[in-house]
Chains A and B, each alone.
Chain A
Amino acid sequence: MRLAIARDMSSPDNAPAAPDWDAIARDPAFRILLADKIKFLVPATIFFVIYYFALPVLVGFYPEFMSREVFGSLNLAYLFALSQFFMAWILAGLYVVVARRWDRDSDAVLKKLGR
């Protein structure tokens, strides 16, 4: 593993020797990038975990309530299960949007440090 990395670093497109990891890690812009990521990932993960597990919990423990028909013969249980697909797609879409910003920020950090 270490050998492979050393080999890569010596290839012509990657002229500089081993990057100064500590310098990048200490850079304020890099710390802000990490904080931004956590600010999105932690609440988003907590949200989808709660939203998802609400399904087996509600359907399993409150089947009568979830069997209530709300739209023709469509009941809460089916609509809530279906909504999970859209929840997942919407969160993935949001992630792609914020991740584009992170890409720009991370490119900026590397550029500033001459990488």
Chain B
Amino acid sequence: MMPLFFAQADPPAQTDRVALFMFLAFVAATLVITYFSARKSKGSSAYFAAGRRITGWQNGLAVAGDYMSAASFLGIAGMIALNGYDGFMYSVGFLVAYLTVLFIVAEPLRNAGKYTMADLLAYRLKPRPVRAMASLSTLTVSIFYMIAQMVGAGALVKLLLPAISYEQAVIGVGVLMVVYVVFGGMIATTWVQIIKAVLLMSGSIFLSILVMAKFDFSVMKFFDSLTAISSTAADGTEVTRNFLTPGLLFKNPWDQISLGLALVFGTAGLPHILIRFYTVPDARTARSSVVWAMVIIGLFYIMTTFFGFGAASLLGPDFINAHGGTNMAAPELARALGGNIFFAFISAVAFATILAVVAGLTISASTSFAHDFFTNVIHHGREHRPGEEVRVARITAFVVGALSIGIAIILGPTVNVAFLVGLAFAVAASANLPAIVLSIFWKRFNTTGAVCGLGVGLVSSIALILVSPDFMKENPIFPLKNPALLSMPLGFLGAILGTLFTHEPSSEDKFTELEVRANTGLGAEKATEH
């Protein structure tokens, strides 16, 4: 099939105005939500956990909104559009990962914890060392992930709205996320994520329908068109490839296996996802919210078939490369099929996507610092003044925002930060997950084990990234892009050896209590009254 060519009806300036208008409409809506949330965000439970009154389907949408980053929306669509099948295979792990969340983590966490991942670990272990390590790991994961999002946001807004500079975009995104979190806390963050999920799904469904309309809604016609996609190779020759064939992008299978480990086991250790389960009334609602999230996330990634492959077939890789590359495949497809208004809408969706994720990261970092580090490590679990914990969280959110803006501006739009996302997942899988799993299932597990597991997982993930092909261009010491294949077994090994070399009878005694709490919900934190 020949790539279609589309006349550009409107001058770019007008597209800019429409897109800017939609950006501003979204921002205005979120600020109204923040205003109303601010009045309800009184007290720790309201501020950190939205009063635990979010319903199952709402939290499912919010988890999806917290999770699906611009990298998965625009990045995966672009990977499929330029290299076919391999991009689609990449997207599978993002859904399968939720089986780990559903089976192992969501319900025990909700039953035994209060505001953070560390609550579950501190239960039966000595709280101060465990919380200090867990907080360090949470801050590392959240800040790495945040910087990746911020640099991506700046680069993206620049492509979508050329009138806005990289620095302006980074500052804009950073200021908005700080405003949501400082004033609106978890309630505002939740609603920003819900609106984003609805917008993202609407945009994806509409885009998929427009693509399929071009193929008279025949799935076979659609897939037939993918068997011969022509593009220009690096040496200038024309090549025709079957885009359903694996191996056009990924060359080393071990890279995919290692990345798969990081995704499938790391998602259940991502602090910004885990804290969402504290916003619902009980463990049963936490369960139903994972199921809702799986429906939404699964449908979304299946739809990448239509708009990712659709862009390959209808626009062609050469057109996409000439119009902004990977990240622009979905917006350009929207422009080609639905005009400048739809392009502007998809751009606004991408912007909403970024904001929802960075807001989730900001509140996860600030909750962990305030609750784990400030209240529990420094102040031994007591608030010296009422409302102190929330105040510390607000200040932390501000500092995290300022830091992220600063780092993103220093790095600039050209630095490739994709590895930071892989690193965040790797740390989550190698440090957080072993500690969580062993804490729930292993009676013998103790404080030394948790601190060793968290430490070894964190340090080995970072160290292996530094000697990976992303950093050492020639002859990397570690051959894989994602460290999880080695760092995750190391994290488990650290946790197990640390445990076996020490004795801590109190941790074994308290295991009984955790076991009962995690499995029955007895004594779990309750939702606040209206």
Residues on A close to B: CB < 8 A? 1-5, 8-9, 13-14, 19, 21-22, 24-25, 30, 33-34, 37, 41, 44-45, 48-49, 52-53, 55-57, 59-61, 63, 66-67, 72-75, 77-78, 81-82, 84-85, 87-89, 91-93, 95-96, 99, 103, 106, 109-110, 115
Contact = CB atoms under 8 A, between A and B. Distances in A.
Contacts of B335: none
Contacts of B305: 82
Given A9-B523, A63-B246, A89 B513 contact: no
A35 B517 CA distance: 16
A49 B89 contact: no
Nearest to A33: B519
Determine the main DSSP class of B at the interface with A. Answer: helix
A41 B518 CA distance: 15
Contacts of B376: 1
Contacts of A37: 519
Interface in B368-384: 376, 381-382
Interface string B76-99: 000000000100110011011011
Given A21-B512, A55-B92, A59-B246, A85 B301 contact: yes
Contacts of A44: 99, 103
B89 A59 contact: yes
7 contacts: A4-B114, A25-B512, A60-B253, A88-B98, A89-B294, A96-B288, A103-B284
Given A77-B89, A99-B287, A61 B253 contact: yes
Contact of A24 (B96, B247, B264, B516): B516
Contact of B93 (A52, A87, A95): A52
A88 B267 CA distance: 15
Nearest to A83: B92
Which 6 A/B pairs are nearest by Cβ-Cβ distance?
A60-B253, A56-B256, A21-B513, A25-B512, A59-B246, A106-B520
B521 interface: yes
Given A55-B89, A88-B95, 20 more contacts: A1-B381, A3-B382, A8-B523, A24-B522, A25-B512, A56-B257, A59-B89, A59-B246, A59-B247, A60-B252, A72-B220, A73-B226, A73-B244, A78-B85, A81-B88, A81-B89, A81-B92, A89-B295, A92-B290, A99-B287
B198 interface: no
A110 to B, nearest CB: 6
Interface stretch (B119-127, B204-212, B350-358): B119-127
A22 B510 CA distance: 10
A57 B224 CA distance: 26
Contacts of B264: 49, 52
A78 B513 CA distance: 47
Q: Size band of the B side of the interface? A: 35 or more
Contacts of A91: 99
B26 interface: no
Count chain A CB atoms within 10 A of each CB in B88, B246, B260, B525 and give the residue with the most.
B246
Interface in B56-92: 85, 88-89, 92
A72 B223 contact: yes
A96 B519 contact: no
A53 to B, nearest CB: 6
Contacts of A4: 114
Contacts of A77: 85, 89, 244-246
Nearest to B525: A8
B99 A92 contact: yes
B522 A115 contact: yes
B462 to A, nearest CB: 24
Contacts of A3: 381-382
B520 to A, nearest CB: 5
A49 B397 CA distance: 37
A96 B92 contact: no
Nearest to B256: A56
A96 B284 CA distance: 10
A52 B247 CA distance: 18
